[in-house]
Amino acid sequence: MATTRPSLDDPLNAFCRDTDAYLEGAEAGPLAGTTFAAKDIFDVAGHVCGAGNPDWKRTHSPAAETAWAVSVLVDAGATLVGKTHTDELTRGIYGTNAHYGTPINPRAPGRVPGGSSSGSAAAVAGGLVDFALGSDTGGSVRIPASFCGLYGIRPTHGRISMQGVMMGSPSYDTVGFFADDAELFARVGQVLLQTEIPALRPAQLVVVDDAFALAEHGVDAALRPQVERVGSLVHKVRSVRLAEDGLEAWTEQQVVQSGRETLAAARDWIDEVNPRFSFEVAMRYAAAEAFTEADEEAARGERERIRTRVGQLLSAGTVLCLPTATSPAPPVERTVQQRLDLRQRTLALTCIAGSTGCPQVSLPLAEVDGLPVGLSLLAARGGDEMLIGFAREIAAVL
């Protein structure tokens, strides 16, 4: 495989400038002739992962092996053209990065691309690559997919190997991906899930009313007609209220458990290196120090209750339907507090799949004032290929 990258035209600041990771795809295969990018937490042999933080990059060594997900894509014919920017250590859903700048969202000028898989989403939305790898712990594929108007998936937890990918929060981390059209999205899914993508429609669509209630009015109004059209493709449509005490109450267990896991993964490095973080990222590590073992125990119990509740609804052939995000991409210029507020609301939507390990696909089906907003479909664990196949079907029919 060639490893010298041709010069890269990147008007979006999507790609890391300080690495020239490049792997030419195999000549034949289901992805032959396509190009892709990988978030800078995926190992490429001989290159150091930066993970969005220069002190991380400075204190780590080149990878010995290439990540499994990258390798299978290259073997399937796709050419890796570069590594993409991420929020620091994947901590963020906006795509801002205080060290490397914020990638441009080509479909929402002046707005963030979403994160943390920011550069991957920007590169696909801007046509710099055909598809891209990201990761999703608390929304890091789904949110940029929604903000940039792309297909994006958070797969079933554990379904796609994380081998060679930086782990932050093991019980939440997943490898996901973006594409701009449903057909290629399905072909990439076929390679990464290592299975055929069936032409199946779910039997039942369950509209999550309390999720729609959290969305801004314009988002709700823009998505409702699409929900009707998607509903017209299935046997039965009904709606539920998922959380008795509000979905926002579901977020706390994830904040605690994922916060504890993420701190545990980074603590020794932070202690030794005293790295530079943007304040927003540092404060999240600092806040996690306050969570106790007992808090985590309680969080585990709450997570189990959420899994049971969602599991009750997700019989085979059932798909939940919800807005991917509560708003279109917000402006780049925002205060820390404004971002925290929106993050809290957003997490109330993304924590459903995150806490249950269920797969979720975001479909670029609507716009609000010209800004993309995604509609999400969520299935029982293992329903990845059904969701991807249904997304392809929806794109073909609607």
Residues that bind a second copy (CB under 8 A): 55, 96, 98-99, 270-272, 274-280, 282-283, 285-287, 289-290, 335-337
Rounded Cα distance, 132 and 176, in Å = 9
Q: Closest CB to a second copy among 130 and 280? A: 280
Q: Closest CB to a second copy among 56 and 178? A: 56
Rounded Cα distance, 212 and 231, in Å = 15
Between strands 151-154 and 204-208, the pairing is unpaired
**Least distance from a second copy to the Cβ atom of residue 346, Å:** 18
Q: Closest CB to a second copy among 290 and 294? A: 290
Enumerate residues 6+ apart whose C-beta is below 8 A from 270: 285
The single residue listed with the structure tokens 């309390």 is: 210
**Least distance from a second copy to the Cβ atom of residue 94, Å:** 10
Q: 75 to each of 5, 23, 33, 79, how far by Cα in Å?
A: 17, 10, 12, 9
Q: Can you say how many angstroms the Cα of residue 223 is from the centroid of all Cα atoms in its chain?
A: 20
**Least distance from a second copy to the Cβ atom of residue 273, Å:** 8
Contact, 77 vs 32, CB < 8 A?
A: yes
Task: Give yes or no: 39 in active site.
Answer: yes
- φ/ψ of residue 349, rounded to 5: -90, -45
DSSP code per residue over 73-95: HHHTTPEEEEEE--SGGG--SS-
Q: Closest CB to a second copy among 272 and 369? A: 272
Rounded Cα distance, 223 and 212, in Å = 9
**Least distance from a second copy to the Cβ atom of residue 285, Å:** 7
Contact, 378 vs 166, CB < 8 A?
A: no
Contact, 123 vs 54, CB < 8 A?
A: no
**Least distance from a second copy to the Cβ atom of residue 56, Å:** 12
Enumerate residues 6+ apart whose C-beta is below 8 A from 73: 25, 31, 36, 80, 133, 188, 191, 192
**Least distance from a second copy to the Cβ atom of residue 66, Å:** 30
- φ/ψ of residue 131, rounded to 5: -155, 175
51: closest CA among 87, 10, 104?
A: 87
Q: Closest CB to a second copy among 213 and 279? A: 279
- From 117, 120, 140, 278, active-site residue: 140
Q: Closest CB to a second copy among 235 and 276? A: 276
**Least distance from a second copy to the Cβ atom of residue 26, Å:** 41
Q: Closest CB to a second copy among 7 and 335? A: 335
**Least distance from a second copy to the Cβ atom of residue 263, Å:** 11
Task: Give yes or no: 116 in active site.
Answer: yes
The single residue listed with the structure tokens 């892709």 is: 36
Rounded Cα distance, 145 and 349, in Å = 14
- Structural tokens at position 320: 């939940």
Enumerate residues 6+ apart whose C-beta is below 8 A from 71: none
Q: Closest CB to a second copy among 221 and 283? A: 283
Residue 202: DSSP 8-state: -
- From 71, 116, 117, 327, active-site residue: 116
**Positions marked catalytic:** 39, 116, 140
